[in-house]
Amino acid sequence: MHFLENSIDNIPKRGSVEVIAGSMFSGKTEELIRRLKRASIAGLKVEIFKPAIDKRYSDTFVISHDKNRIPSTAVENASMILLLSTDVDVIGVDEAQFFDGSIVEVCKILANKGVRVVVAGLDMDYSGKPFGPMPEIMATAEYVTKVHAICVECGNLANYSYRLASETKTVLLGELDVYKPLCRRCFNKQTKE
């Protein structure tokens, strides 16, 4: 048995990047929380980060629309994740689209060190264009999970976050009062009106 224990200890940790992407109300944060809680149950050391700009529910928790929550650290920029994530097995990052492009390199550095990095974020902005660093994170990730909401107009799978407000800046925090999930057909219909 002693030989087996020593050989297992000598196996290097395998780092990876996992992405959970989709529209608003698709369950991205819910899935992130589920994966991180399972890692904690398995005895792994887990740290969760979110952009400081996202204060919709809490400064100290990542909270899903279904009110599930997990303690987190709000950071001003992606490089702070490297500074605050020593001796961890799993890193979670919520709302990754709000970080600048340096989040891609942060994910690579952590994965190269043997850390499992689980990233959740919007893949498209309100206009249907790729959002911030998400396309590059998805391109360099080992695993990508695309989740969908339900279109509030027709009931089909929704992958667009249609903005109800007339504001045109890319980042506008809000919930159902500002956004609604739509399928491709309903999104195209709404944006042509």
CA end-to-end span of the chain? 70
DSSP letter for 28, please. H
Q: Residue type for 160, please?
A: Y
Mean pLDDT of the residues in the chain: 86
CA distance 98 to 145: 19
C-alpha R_g of the chain: 18
Which pLDDT score, from 0 to 100, does residue 59 have?
A: 62
pLDDT of residue 1: 46
State the Cα angle at 155 between 149 and 160, rounded to 5°.
40
Tell me the two tokens of residue 115. 């850390």
Mean pLDDT of 23-39: 93
pLDDT digits (tens, 9 = 90+) for 52-95: 876 655 566 566 566 666 667 889 999 999 999 889 999 999 99
Question: Domain 11-148 maps to which CATH number in 3.40.50.300, 3.30.750.210, 2.40.70.10, 3.40.50.920?
Answer: 3.40.50.300
Of 17-26, 108-117, 142-151, 160-169, which gets the smallest average pLDDT?
160-169
Domain regions of the chain by residue span: 11-148
What predicted TM-score, i.e. pTM, was given to this entire model? 0.84
Mean pLDDT of 34-50: 94
Residues tagged active-site: 95
Q: Which has more pLDDT, 65 or 158?
A: 158
SS3 (DSSP) at 165: coil
Burial of residue 124, with CB atoms counted within 10 A of its CB: 0-12 exposed, 13-18 middle, 19 or more buried = buried
